[in-house]
């Protein structure tokens, strides 16, 4: 049994091809995954001012969609066409007959290109629907309150989803995890390349969707909401509803990252969806690149992914210089870089640009804006308060 | 009369959590942000106790003053290096909260490295431990930490009450929390007050952390894991009221342990895995019903009692004036 698991593990590892080209494919794949998350985050935080600290929840929903729903559908379809699958209906069988079942499924999917793509589209669609649903549920307790309450709720729910995934084996195989059938088994070349290409394509499509939405009147509404929600409320817009819609839409897009991550690793386990990885690293990308700016998000994602992947790949070389495990060094880089960027580059590497409005030279209109020196602002405010106090004293 | 051990355990945990909640609420009052790194300060306290017991072979109780000092200094350093700078730059509440998360990751990594250095240099296993054998025993079976924890938390509550209501420093702290600009106009040095309150919050968190390994299994991630309970307790108390935090922290601490036990007894042992979900459920229920927690309930109750009187008093006032005329 264990030899079987180990063999299937070796056979499906993405490191089957050695060398620098493998590193490039790997970087491209994770760039595609995290750029989807970071772009959705930019849509929420950079443009609408919603601090979504629960990206990990939405990604984990994408992964759980595959392991809990789509995989059962796959097994049912395959069993009806006559593949001799083992029973998968109880807790024990779900985990222990899983490697053998997935092996049979991969053999079956090798000749079924159309069906495989159908499964891929089905899982993406389902993940988007469920992601939007979880976005709605997350928005319920805290969207009408101060932004910090939303952050608290989302962070705690990220932990809660991991605890549930760890203990309910039917969802994602508990602590052991489950193997996922390979929907790219029909592809004759390297399956890492096609997964990366499809992920990057999804990233590109979502980039255009986000860009179109931003340059539409809805985008201007979002930016206005970020700047001053009271004004938006007073001109008759439903502030809570707009926020909830944005959160739901971005949640749906974020869930796709979980789906593609599952199909790349061919393995699903709650332990791979820790909030440190799926929430804080995208936030670092966003803040490093510059919030409110898709180009900045791309740049930040590329820099951070390259850094992280190089640390992971050359782990054993770097390890010689440190007495502690390298993962703690990664944490130090993550925390330190976030603080340093926020202090020394508050606008990120690429500052935010004005939105494109057809027919209006918006840039010319705002050229005469008053420049506020934020470093001097507290002193100015203090001075104003002192003046006010003096006036009151005179009265 | 014999008290069941589980109640002693729950009260010990609740006392430690109360100290953490008080610190969290004080930070929220002075800086207006939830400090996610607050639990990680407690992690440093845990390792002060570990170092005293397992490395110097002294009773961990000797380390409590040092834990208070270390926590205060870490908190001061965090304020001086990060929050002070970011607040001077005029950053909003969201950016400051993300900064606390970054500090949580950074300090957590340092704590992990410190724990790992025992493994690397001294061959001691330091990433999961319990210091129960270093504790003293009262009346045959009751662990000493029960009395120490409840004593320290009652003392802290009394001292804090005295400080906030009777001394000039405490009144200055309250004024700074209400309106920093107005307080500075009145001649209060806000910077010093903020430094003092950050020192106290960090110290209290670290002190509470130092008490945790005396009864509970501890590891470098214990500190950052406890943050959900701290936030639930503070939120139940209303986030902006120190007395609310005392009640909220104690309630969450007791209910976290007792609900888990009740679930284990009625539903089965698997419920123990879901212990972190208890404070999370509290948090979401409080947000859904009354986002201002117990303080909001109290204010509503007060308003419902005073409203009829005010309505009666309002028409009565002009008549008196008319009589005088």
Q: What is the CATH number of the domain that holds B220?
A: 1.10.3470
Tokens of B24: 């969290």
∠ CA A342-A343-A346, nearest 5°, is: 50
DSSP character string of A204-252: HHHHHHHHHHHHSHHHHHHHHHHH-HHHHHHTT--HHHHHHHHHHHHHH
Is residue B302 a part of any domain in this protein? no
Averaged confidence pLDDT in chain A: 85
Would you say residue B317 lies in a domain?
no
Structural domain contains residue B128 = yes
Q: Is pLDDT of A30 > 60?
A: yes
Nearest by CB: A389 against B106, B108, B185: B185
B29 neighbors B164 (Cβ within 8 angstroms): no
Contact assignment for A324 to B110 by CB distance below 8 Å:
no
Q: What angle do CA A78, A80, A83 make, to 5 degrees?
A: 50
SS3 label, residue B90 = coil
Q: d(Cα B270, Cα B292) in Å, to the nearest integer?
A: 33
Does residue A20 have a pLDDT over 70?
yes
Residue B207 lies in a domain: yes
Chain B: nearest CA to A193, how far in angstroms?
33
Residues from chain A contacting residue B108 (CB–CB below 8 Å): 331
Closest-CA distance of chain A to residue B138, Å = 38
Q: How far apart are CA B226 and CA B41, in angstroms?
A: 11
Nearest CA in chain A to B113: A324
Residue A62 and residue A37 in contact, taking contact as beta carbons nearer than 8 Å:
no
CA dist A280 and A276 (Å) reads: 5
Asked if A172 and A64 touch (Cβ cutoff 8 Å), the reply is: yes
Residues of A in contact with B272 (CB under 8 A): none
B190 to chain A, any CB pair closer than 8 A? The answer is no
Distance CA B209, CA B216 (A): 11
The per-residue pLDDT for B312 is: 52
CB within 8 Å: B34 and A156? no
Q: Compute chain A's Rg from CA coordinates.
A: 24
Question: Do the domain assignments include residue B107?
Answer: yes
Q: How far is the alpha carbon of B137 from chain A, nearest alpha carbon, in Å?
A: 36
Residues 7-36 of B with CB under 8 A from A: 33-34, 36
Flag if B102 and A51 touch (Cβ within 8 Å): no
Q: What is the spatial distance between Cα A159 and Cα B4, in angstroms, rounded to a whole number?
A: 31
Residue A132: partners with Cβ closer than 8 Å, 6 or more residues away: A248, A249, A251, A252
Contact A47, A247 (CB under 8 A): no
CB contact under 8 A, A159 and B105: no
Nearest to B14 by CA among B215, B164, B161, B206: B215
A178-215 tens-digit pLDDT: 999 989 888 888 888 899 999 999 999 999 999 899 88
**Are A339 and B36 in contact (CB < 8 Å)?**
no
- Name the closest residue on chain A to residue B78, using Cα atoms: A339
Q: Does B3 touch chain A (CB under 8 A)?
A: no
What does the domain layout of chain A look like in residue ranges?
A: 2-367
| Interface probe with B: pick from A324, A373, A393, most Cβ of B within 10 Å | A324
Q: Which of B256, B251, B244 is nearest to B297 (CA)?
A: B244
Q: Do A385 and B184 lie within an 8 Å CB cutoff?
A: yes
Of B24, B13, B5, which Cα lies nearest the Cα of B278? B13
- pLDDT of residue A177 exceeding 70: yes
* Residues 131-170 (B) with a CB less than 8 A from some CB of A: none
What pLDDT does residue A10 have?
45
Determine contact: B102 vs chain A, CB below 8 A: yes
Q: For the stretch B221-253, what's the b/e string if a residue is b when 16 or more beta carbons lie within 10 angstroms of its beta carbon?
A: bbbbebbbbbbbbbbbbbbbbbbbbbbbbbbbb
Say yes or no: B120 contacts chain A, CB-CB below 8 A.
yes
CB contact under 8 A, B98 and A51: yes
What's the pLDDT band for A124 if we cut at 50, 70, 90? very high
Closest residue of chain A to B109, computed from CA coordinates: A328
Residue in B9, B5, B36 with CA at minimum distance from that of residue B23: B36
Q: How far does CA A236 lie from the centroid of its chain?
A: 32
Q: Nearest CA to CA, how far is A149 from chain B (Å)?
A: 8
Asked if A342 lies within 8 A of B99 by C-beta distance, the reply is yes
Q: What share of residues in chain A are helix, strand, coil (percent, to 5)?
A: 75, 0, 25
Q: For residues A180 and A316, what is the distance between their CA atoms, to the nearest angstrom?
A: 29
Cα nearest neighbour of A140 on chain B: B288
Q: In which residue are the tokens 């002193």 written? A: A379
Cβ contacts of A287 on chain B, cutoff 8 Å:
98
Please write the tens of the pLDDT for every residue from A318-358.
888 888 888 888 889 999 999 999 999 888 888 887 777 66
Q: How far apart are the CA of A201 and the nearest CA of chain B, in angstroms?
A: 31
Domain residues for the domain of B123 are 5-293
Q: Which residues of A touch B106 (CB under 8 A)?
A: 331-332, 334-336, 339
Handedness of CA A130, A194, A300, A265 (dihedral sign): positive
Helix (H, G, I), strand (E, B) or coil at B142: strand
Band (A15; pLDDT cuts 50, 70, 90): very low
Which residue on chain B is closest to A387 by alpha carbon?
B185
| Closest chain A residue to the Cα of B289, Cα to Cα | A141
Residue with tokens 């595609």: A32
Residues of A in contact with B99 (CB under 8 A): 338-339, 342
End-to-end CA distance of chain B: 70
**Neighbouring residues of B39: CB distance < 8 A, sequence distance ≥ 6:** B20, B104, B205, B223, B224, B225, B226, B227, B230
ipTM for the assembly = 0.84
The verdict on residue B306 lying in a domain is no
Task: Work out the end-to-end distance of chain A between its first and last CA atoms, rounded to an integer number of angstroms.
Answer: 88
C-alpha to C-alpha distance for A26 and A200, rounded to whole angstroms: 12
Widest CA span of chain B, in angstroms? Answer: 90
B277 contacts on A by Cβ (under 8 Å) = 160, 163
For residue A179, give the nearest of A368, A369, A6 by alpha carbon. A6
DSSP letters spanning B143-197: EHHHHHHHHHHHHHHHHHHHHHHHSHHHHHHHHHHH-HHHHHHTT--HHHHHHHH
CA distance A378 to A374: 8
At residue B210, the pLDDT reads: 92
At residue A362, the pLDDT reads 62
The structure tokens 């001053």 sit at: A228
- Does residue B31 sit within a domain? yes
Query: Would residue B321 count as lying in a domain?
Result: no
pLDDT at A8: 46
Given CB atoms, is B85 within the 8 Å cutoff of chain A?
yes
Give the Cα separation of A311 and A306 in Å (integer).
9
Mutate to test the interface with B, among A57, A152, A159, A385 (most CBs of B within 10 A): A152
| Cross-chain residue pair A160–B276, CB shorter than 8 Å | yes
* Number of independent structural domains in chain B: 1
- Confidence class of residue A145 from pLDDT cuts 50, 70 and 90? confident
Query: What count of other Cβ atoms lies within 10 Å of the Cβ of residue B158?
Result: 10
The DSSP code for B58 is: S
Tokens 């355990």 belong to: B9
Q: Does B269 touch chain A (CB under 8 A)?
A: no
Contact between A324 and B112 using a beta-carbon 8 Å cutoff: yes
**Cβ-defined contact of A287 to B98 (cutoff 8 Å):** yes
Q: Give every residue of chain B whose pLDDT is below 50, as ranges.
A: 313-325
Closest CA to A195 of A29, A70, A35: A29
Are B41 and B202 a contacting pair, CB within 8 Å? yes
Instruction: In whole angstroms, give the CA distance from residue B55 to residue B57.
Output: 6
């Amino acid at each position: 049994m264990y030899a079987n698991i180990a063999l299937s593990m070796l056979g499906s590892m993405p490191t089957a091809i050695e060398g620098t080209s493998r590193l490039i494919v790997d970087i491209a794949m994770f760039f595609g995954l995290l750029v989807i998350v970071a772009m959705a985050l930019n849509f929420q935080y950079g443009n609408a001012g919603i601090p979504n600290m629960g990206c990990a929840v939405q990604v984990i929903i994408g992964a759980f969609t595959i392991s809990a729903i789509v995989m059962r559908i796959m097994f049912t379809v395959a069993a009806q066409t006559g593949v001799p699958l083992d029973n998968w209906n109880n807790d024990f069988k779900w985990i222990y007959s899983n490697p053998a079942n997935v092996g049979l499924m991969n053999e079956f999917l090798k000749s079924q290109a159309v069906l495989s793509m159908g499964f891929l589209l089905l899982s993406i669609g389902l993940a988007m629907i469920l992601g939007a649903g979880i976005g709605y549920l997350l928005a319920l307790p805290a969207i009408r309150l101060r932004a910090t309450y939303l952050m608290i709720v989302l962070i705690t729910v990220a932990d809660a989803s991991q605890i549930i995934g760890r203990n309910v084996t039917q969802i994602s195989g508990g602590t052991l995890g489950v193997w996922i059938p390979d929907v790219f088994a029909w592809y004759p070349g390297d399956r890492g390349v096609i997964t990366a290409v499809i992920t990057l394509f999804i990233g590109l499509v979502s980039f255009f969707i986000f860009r179109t939405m931003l340059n539409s009147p809805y985008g201007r509404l979002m930016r206005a909401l970020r700047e001053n929600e009271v004004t938006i409320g007073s001109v008759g817009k439903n502030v809570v509803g707009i926020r909830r819609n944005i959160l739901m839409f971005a949640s749906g897009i974020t869930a796709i990252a979980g789906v593609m991550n599952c199909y790349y690793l061919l393995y699903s386990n709650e332990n791979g969806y820790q909030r440190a990885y799926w929430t804080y690293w995208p936030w670092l990308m966003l803040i490093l690149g510059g919030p409110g700016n898709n180009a900045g998000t791309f740049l930040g994602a590329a820099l951070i992914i390259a850094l992280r992947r190089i640390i992971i790949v050359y782990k054993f070389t770097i390890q010689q210089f440190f007495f502690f495990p390298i993962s703690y060094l990664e944490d130090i880089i993550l925390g330190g870089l976030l603080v340093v960027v926020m202090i020394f580059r508050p606008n990120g590497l690429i500052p935010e640009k004005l939105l494109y409005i057809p027919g209006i030279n918006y840039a010319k209109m705002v050229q005469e804006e008053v420049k506020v020196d934020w470093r001097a602002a507290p002193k100015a405010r203090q001075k104003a308060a002192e003046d006010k106090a003096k006036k009151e004293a005179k009265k | 009369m014999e008290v069941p051990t589980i109640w002693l355990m729950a009260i010990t945990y609740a006392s430690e959590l109360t100290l953490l909640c008080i610190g969290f609420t004080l930070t929220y009052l002075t800086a207006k942000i939830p400090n996610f790194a607050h639990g990680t300060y407690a992690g440093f306290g845990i390792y002060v106790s570990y170092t005293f017991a397992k490395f110097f072979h002294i009773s961990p109780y000797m380390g409590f003053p040092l834990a208070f000092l270390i926590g205060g200094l870490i908190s001061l350093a965090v304020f001086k290096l990060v929050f002070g700078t970011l607040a001077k730059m005029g950053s909003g509440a969201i950016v400051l909260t993300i900064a606390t998360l970054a500090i949580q990751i950074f300090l957590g990594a340092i704590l992990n490295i410190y724990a790992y250095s025992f493994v690397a240099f001294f061959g001691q296993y330091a990433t999961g431990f319990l210091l129960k054998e270093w504790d003293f025993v009262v009346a045959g079976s009751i662990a000493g930490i029960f009395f120490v924890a409840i004593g320290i938390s009652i003392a802290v509550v009394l001292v804090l009450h005295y400080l906030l209501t009777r001394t000039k420093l405490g009144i200055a702290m309250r004024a700074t929390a209400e309106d920093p600009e107005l307080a500075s106009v009145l001649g209060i040095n806000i910077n010093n007050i903020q430094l003092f309150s950050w020192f106290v919050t960090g110290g209290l968190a670290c002190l509470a952390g130092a008490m945790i390994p005396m009864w509970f299994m501890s590891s470098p991630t214990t500190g950052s894991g406890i943050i959900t309970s701290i936030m639930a307790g503070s939120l139940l108390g209303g986030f902006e009221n120190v007395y609310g935090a005392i009640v909220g922290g104690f309630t969450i601490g007791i209910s976290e342990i007792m609900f888990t036990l009740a679930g284990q007894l009625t539903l089965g042992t698997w419920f123990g895995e879901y212990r972190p979900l208890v404070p999370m459920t509290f948090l979401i229920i409080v947000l859904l019903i009354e986002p201002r927690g117990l303080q909001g309930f109290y204010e509503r109750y007060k308003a419902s009692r005073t409203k009829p009187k005010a309505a009666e008093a309002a028409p009565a006032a002009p008549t008196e004036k008319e009589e005088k005329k």
